[in-house]
Amino acid sequence: MTHVLPELPYAYDALEPFFDEETMRLHHDKHHQAYVNNLNVALEKHSEFETLSVEDLLKDLNVLPEDIRTAVRNNAGGHFNHSLFWKMLAPNAGGLPTGEIAAGITEAFGSFDEFKAQFKAAAVGRFGSGWAWLVLDKAGKLKVTSTANQDNPIMNDEKAVLGLDVWEHAYYLKYRNLRPDYIEAFFSLVNWDFVNELYAKAK
């Protein structure tokens, strides 16, 4: 099996004015495609791993041969993270959470505003490139984390229910150095229906 770039679930310009069309085109067609291509190149060297899903690859990197371990970590991670990220966004979305995750956030953080403050702090505070996450941890508790590079919480046995890409490629064309403005825009795009799906699966 070769890994394939999934289509965006909406038009490139559908997330305007929050995420601009040019960024979405580059981010999906070039950056995400590169992770997929590089993952396939790495796995060609050890074809016995070609049938594993990206999740299975990331869950136990130590079983992989050393010569492809870093490439798989970065590129299976990049493929998995971006595949989730596109679905975590939607046009005409954002605002307050709905459904089970709304109750879960209130229970874990006290309020949506407190969750949002913690998430923004994690996203602003991630030095260099990485992601901010809302995860369900091993104890079944919702918490905010961040990861470097293309690492995914699954590598720590935690399940992502919401994530934000804070690599500069995700925002620099429109927001330049203003990462906090990009983070605020993200909250106008969160697809709470999909977050609820992930939350239900994680539980």
**In the complex, which residues of this chain contact Mn ion (CB under 5 A)?**
165, 167, 170
Amino acid identity at 51: T
Q: Choose between 151 and 165: whose C-beta lies nearer to Mn ion.
A: 165
Which residues, in sequence order, are CB contacts of 11 under 8 Å at separation 6+? Answer: none
Helices within the chain (DSSP H only): 21-25, 33-44, 54-59, 66-88, 99-109, 112-125, 172-175, 179-186, 192-202
Q: Choose between 101 and 170: whose C-beta lies nearer to Mn ion.
A: 170
In the complex, least distance from residue 85 CB atom to Mn ion, rounded to whole angstroms: 7
In the complex, least distance from residue 27 CB atom to Mn ion, rounded to whole angstroms: 6
Tokens of 189: 């795009």
Give, in order, the Cα–Cα distances in Å from 63 to each of 35, 58, 59, 188.
21, 10, 10, 40
In the complex, least distance from residue 33 CB atom to Mn ion, rounded to whole angstroms: 11
Which residues, in sequence order, are CB contacts of 60 under 8 Å at separation 6+? Answer: none
Q: Choose between 27 and 159: whose C-beta lies nearer to Mn ion.
A: 27
In the complex, least distance from residue 184 CB atom to Mn ion, rounded to whole angstroms: 18
Q: Choose between 158 and 165: whose C-beta lies nearer to Mn ion.
A: 165
